[in-house]
Amino acid sequence: MYKALLEKELGPRIQKIQVSDKEMQTWYAKNPELRTSHILIEYKAGATPAQVAEAKKRASEIYDEVKKSKRPFEELVKLYSDDALSKQAGGDIGWQSRVTLVPSYYEAASDMKVGEVRGLIESQFGFHVIKLTGRRSFENANKRQLRAAVYDEKRKQIFNEFFEKLKKSYSIKENTSAIK
């Protein structure tokens, strides 16, 4: 019933969504594709506060070493990173977008200048030391992924408006003790 209601109410509006090049350019100006390399100091999911503190201490020491070192970042990645996948490529994780990166990582990288190194960015994977190696222009961006991101944003707005309207029509009680 729920799915049928949503399909009936929102289906026609969602099918009418159009994404223009101008909308894609506007979205891309705030959400460019970035190329980064990183050193990851990992801690496992469910790590104790002591394990997280130990990883942070190690990450801080590595970041201090990276700032002082005359060695190329790629060499330091091979010495220190826990990310086996990117380690062989000098920490390079390729071109990524806001959609494909962890928010804290993307936010930190998007504020950087190409060639800049920034440290101790925490994510669910651990602590990162990031080097921004590229910022892709709109002309070279992955247009399919970009169009999908703008479409998703428009679709989300339609759903949010629908549920906000429903909230005004019905009395809703939250059982906060049931939400974890």
At residue 172, does pLDDT exceed 80? no
As a whole number, the mean pLDDT across the chain is: 90
- Write the pLDDT tens digit of every residue in 14-31: 889 999 999 999 999 999
Whether the CB-CB separation of 127 and 121 falls below 8 Å is answered with yes
More confident residue, 178 or 154: 154
pLDDT at position 98: 86
Q: CA–CA separation, 51 vs 111, rounded Å?
A: 29
99-157 pLDDT, tens digit each: 889 999 999 999 999 999 998 899 989 999 999 999 999 999 889 988 999 999 999 99
Strand ranges of the sheet holding 92-96, from the earlier edge strand across to the other edge = 92-96, 34-42, 126-135, 117-123
pTM, to two decimals: 0.74
What residue type is assigned to position 70 of the chain?
A: K
Q: Taking the CB of residue 128, how many other CB atoms lie within 10 A of it?
A: 27
Q: Which residues pair with 99 in a beta bridge?
A: none
Structure tokens at 69: 């070192």
b/e map 146-167, b = 16+ CB within 10 Å: bbebbbeebeeeeeeeeeeeee
Separation between Cα atoms, residue 170 and residue 122, nearest integer Å: 40
- Which of the four pLDDT bands, split at 50, 70 and 90, describes residue 180? low
Q: Is 128 helix (H, G, I), strand (E, B) or coil?
A: strand
Tell me the per-residue pLDDT of 46-85, one tens digit each, with 9 for 90 and over: 889 999 999 999 999 999 999 999 999 999 999 999 998 8
Helix (H) or strand (E) segment spanning residue 82: none
State how far Cα 114 lies from the chain centre. 18
